[in-house]
Amino acid sequence: MGQKVNPIGFRTGIMLGWKSRWYASKKEFSDLLIEDHKIRKFVHQKYKFAGIPKVEIERTRDEVKVILFAARPGVIIGRKGQEVEQLQDELQALVGRRINIKIEEVSRPELQAQLVAEDIAEQLSKRSSFRRTMKRSLEQTMEAGAKGIKVQLAGRLGGAEMARREKQIAGSIPLSTLRAKIDYGFVEAKTAQGHIGVQVWINQGMYEDEIDGADAQEGQAQKKPKRSYKR
């Protein structure tokens, strides 16, 4: 049977870079890994509504650089950057190292699978119809310029006694094509009847498209014949 592998883990090291970039000896590795997990968990819990699809971490010997990608950076920055300073102090207290925070804005949140999944989960928690919510997300993402999207919900949908799965697909989702830029997001919606798992796959196009576009322009410039004018 075909096994479903996480599309981000599948492409890491081939098409995608790592989310944590640092090197450590065997002795320190496990502690630093747990530290990374604590930082991510803390940031996601504190800024649930800032729309943070991913947190990247880089380390040098004496400091930890935390890069936050946010759909609403204003929520994290706060007035005159007060919130950032507070977050910096809290993270330093959490891990006991010097922290350097960098915030980057996510230009199109509709194309980030994690943010789409969080939005669906929020709607389900507010007791809205799951079919309508799925359909709306599919339409919004396709309008934003995605090549394809797949949404799968699993659990007691609509408060049913029996748990089940529902799936909706729009466009194409080539999961086994490594060149395809596929983003994946997962979140659990907490409803009164129980948790509902929300999975989202978004096809953002091919990785080559960006490179090929530049190469094609260069090639066309070279192909233009040189005109020689004779008098």
pLDDT per residue over 8-61, tens digit each? 999 999 999 999 999 999 999 999 999 999 999 999 998 888 899 999 999 998
Structure confidence at residue 162 (pLDDT): 94
Alpha-carbon span 39 to 92, nearest angstrom: 10
Structure confidence at residue 222 (pLDDT): 58
Radius of gyration of the chain (CA): 22
Does some domain include residue 229? no
Examine the domain organization and report whether 37 and 123 are in the same domain: no
pLDDT per residue over 110-144, tens digit each? 999 999 999 999 999 999 999 999 999 999 999 99
Structure confidence at residue 33 (pLDDT): 95
DSSP 92-151: HHHHSSEEEEEEEE-S-GGG-HHHHHHHHHHHHHTT--HHHHHHHHHHHHHHTT-SEEEE
Domain end: 86, 105, 124, which one?
105
pLDDT per residue over 188-214, tens digit each? 999 999 999 999 999 999 988 766 655
Domain holding 43, by residue range, is 9-105
Report CA 29 to chain centroid distance, whole Å.
Answer: 25
Alpha-carbon span 124 to 227, nearest angstrom: 65
Structure confidence at residue 48 (pLDDT): 86
CB 113 within 8 A of CB 184: yes
Q: For residue 192, what is the DSSP state?
A: T
pLDDT per residue over 70-100, tens digit each? 998 888 888 887 888 889 999 999 988 899 9
Predicted structure pTM score = 0.85
Sheet containing 180-191: order of strands: 164-171, 148-155, 194-206, 180-191
Instruction: Find the angle CA(226)-CA(227)-CA(231) to the nearest 5 degrees.
Output: 145
Question: Residue 195 belongs to a domain with what CATH number?
Answer: 3.30.1140.32
Examine the domain organization and report whether 199 and 129 are in the same domain: yes
Which phi and psi angles does 54 have, rounded to 5°?
Answer: -155, 155
Examine the domain organization and report whether 136 and 203 are in the same domain: yes
Percentage helix, strand, coil, to 5, in the chain?
Answer: 45, 30, 30
Mean pLDDT computed over 171-180:
93
Does some domain include residue 143? yes
Examine the domain organization and report whether 31 and 73 are in the same domain: yes
CB 141 within 8 A of CB 111: yes
* Secondary structure (3-state) at 220: helix
Structure confidence at residue 74 (pLDDT): 87
Question: Is 60 exceeded by the pLDDT of residue 225?
Answer: no
Alpha-carbon span 171 to 146, nearest angstrom: 8
What is the tally of structural domains in the chain? 2
Question: Is 50 exceeded by the pLDDT of residue 231?
Answer: no
Structure confidence at residue 228 (pLDDT): 45
Examine the domain organization and report whether 75 and 114 are in the same domain: no
